[in-house]
């Protein structure tokens, strides 16, 4: 075939191939693939020395990324070298793997197989050999794109369905349970699992058979995400199972809050109670939120003196030039409520009917308790704290979650757990 005819074919191929689909479904997304020749079943591989070979086993894994101009980059996932047409430009030769980030290709789909062509000279096609030689070096040559030895099967490495999980309770405090919910939902967002349900069932500290079978649904809208026909595995926490997922305290507040806002949604009847309380008690007032976690918290963080809290309230009032203000208090200790009401008569607001400990025992552990109400009170306190003007808090998961519901809330921390980063801002 004459050179002139080849040039005509090259121009025609460039326009025809520009719109072809490629295996990678999203622009800029990297997926791992193996590339295998249709005729002889040999895999396209990058050797340890950086050369390109074809072989029967031990294939290389390739990242295939779609570029904005319709070409693709084919990158060895191990060495991060780019598949490059050759060291002789746009002429036939031996393809290489190099650092050349400008090396791009066109893929033509023919019955679920692909021809791989030099994007600058689309008539140059990757084939296993030039003349059926015995060596294992592939070449690029002028070639018919639908010839058997010019076609490659490009297969995603992990074609197994991604796992699907039912998150169950393990049991622990309510907001530690919500940490686990956030963690697994984040894994779903990152496409590390195909489906997710939250079913705390008959386990955990808040289960009440009179209210329902799944205590997560007592307080929040159900979470049932992804492929509902999946086969589920029960899991009681999202960590240590191969997920590329950091623990919640290592993630930015904005990222955490975005997941909470999207997925962890309080039931309408609880939100209605919260809005009514805010309307009746917070409107037209500067409200300082105070959360004092007492009882058994001394095992995890230093206990804060009552007077340190009252001093901080007065300090913030001076800083903000407040002549009048209200204090919304959330606490598990009756003694601290009594103390604060003595320090600030007529200024302390609490949710009526909220249970408080008088003997140092934590509220969420013990028999003969209204378990549903215990959880509901905690959630309402948490969200009300998030709607104050500023928050003074001791170390606690409850008021930490207040910042997830409102990441712009100004926070003053009076204590923190060992190894926990401060949220003060």
pLDDT (tens digit, 9 = 90+) per residue, 170-208? 878 899 999 999 988 988 888 778 899 999 988 888 899
CA angle, corner 288, sides to 284 and 290, nearest 5?
Answer: 145
- The mean per-residue pLDDT over the stretch 313-342 comes to 94
Model confidence at 376, pLDDT cuts 50, 70, 90, reads very high
Compute the distance between CA of residue 121 and CA of residue 177 in angstroms, rounded to an integer. Answer: 58
Q: What is the pLDDT of residue 340?
A: 96
Higher pLDDT, 116 or 358: 116
pLDDT of res. 87: 67
pTM: 0.63
Which of 47-56, 110-119, 260-269, 321-330 is predicted with the least confidence, judged by mean pLDDT?
47-56
pLDDT above 50: residue 356: yes
Q: Does residue 92 surpass a pLDDT of 90?
A: no
Domains and CATH numbers, the chain: 3-156 (2.80.10.50), 164-263 (no CATH), 269-413 (3.40.50.11350)
* pLDDT at residue 142 greater than cutoff 70: yes
Instruction: Judge whether 193 and 162 are in contact, CB under 8 Å.
Output: yes
Give me the phi and psi of 307, to 5 degrees please.
-65, -25
> For residue 171, which phi and psi values (nearest 5 degrees)?
-80, 155
pLDDT tens-place string over residues 30-67 = 568 889 888 888 888 887 566 788 887 767 888 888 88
CA distance 332 to 354: 9
Looking at per-residue pLDDT, the higher value among 162 and 161 belongs to 162
Contact 278, 384 (CB under 8 A): yes
């Amino acid at each position: 075939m004459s050179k002139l005819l080849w040039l005509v074919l090259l121009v025609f191929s460039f326009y025809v191939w520009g719109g072809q689909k490629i295996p990678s479904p999203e622009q800029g997304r990297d997926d791992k693939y193996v590339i295998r020749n249709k005729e002889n079943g040999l895999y396209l591989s990058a050797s340890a020395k950086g050369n390109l070979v074809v072989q029967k086993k031990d294939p290389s894994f390739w990242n295939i990324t779609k570029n904005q101009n319709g070409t693709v980059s084919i990158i060895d996932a191990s060495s991060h070298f780019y598949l490059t047409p050759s060291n002789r430009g746009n002429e036939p030769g031996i393809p290489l793997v190099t650092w050349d980030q400008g090396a791009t290709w066109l893929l033509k789909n023919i019955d679920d197989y692909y021809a791989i062509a030099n994007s600058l000279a689309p008539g140059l096609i990757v084939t296993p050999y030039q003349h059926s030689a015995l060596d294992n070096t592939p070449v690029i040559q002028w070639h018919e794109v639908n010839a058997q030895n010019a076609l490659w099967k490009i297969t995603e490495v992990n074609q197994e369905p991604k796992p699907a999980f039912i998150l169950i309770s393990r049991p622990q405090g309510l907001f530690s349970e919500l940490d686990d919910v956030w963690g697994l939902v984040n894994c779903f967002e990152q496409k590390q699992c195909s489906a997710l349900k939250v079913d705390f069932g008959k386990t955990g500290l808040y289960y009440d058979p009179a209210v329902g079978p799944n205590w997560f649904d007592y307080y929040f809208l159900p979470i049932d995400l992804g492929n509902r026909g999946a086969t589920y595995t029960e899991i009681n926490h999202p960590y240590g199972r191969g997920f590329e997922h950091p623990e919640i305290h290592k993630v930015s507040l904005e990222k955490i809050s975005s997941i909470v806002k999207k997925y962890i949604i309080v039931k309408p009847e609880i939100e209605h109670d919260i809005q009514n309380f805010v309307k009746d008690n917070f409107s037209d007032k500067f409200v300082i939120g105070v959360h004092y976690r007492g009882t058994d918290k001394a095992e995890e963080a230093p206990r804060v003196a009552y007077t340190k809290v009252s001093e901080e309230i007065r300090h913030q009032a001076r800083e903000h030039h407040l002549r009048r203000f209200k204090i919304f208090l959330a606490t598990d200790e009756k003694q601290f409520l009594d103390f604060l009401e003595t320090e600030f008569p007529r200024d302390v607001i609490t949710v009526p009917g909220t249970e408080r400990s008088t003997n140092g025992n934590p509220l969420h552990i013990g028999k003969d308790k209204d378990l549903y109400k215990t959880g509901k009170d905690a959630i309402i306190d948490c969200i009300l704290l998030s709607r104050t003007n500023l928050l003074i808090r001791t170390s606690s998961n409850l008021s930490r979650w207040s910042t997830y519901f409102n990441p712009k809330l100004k926070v003053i921390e009076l204590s923190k757990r060992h190894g926990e980063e401060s949220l003060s801002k």
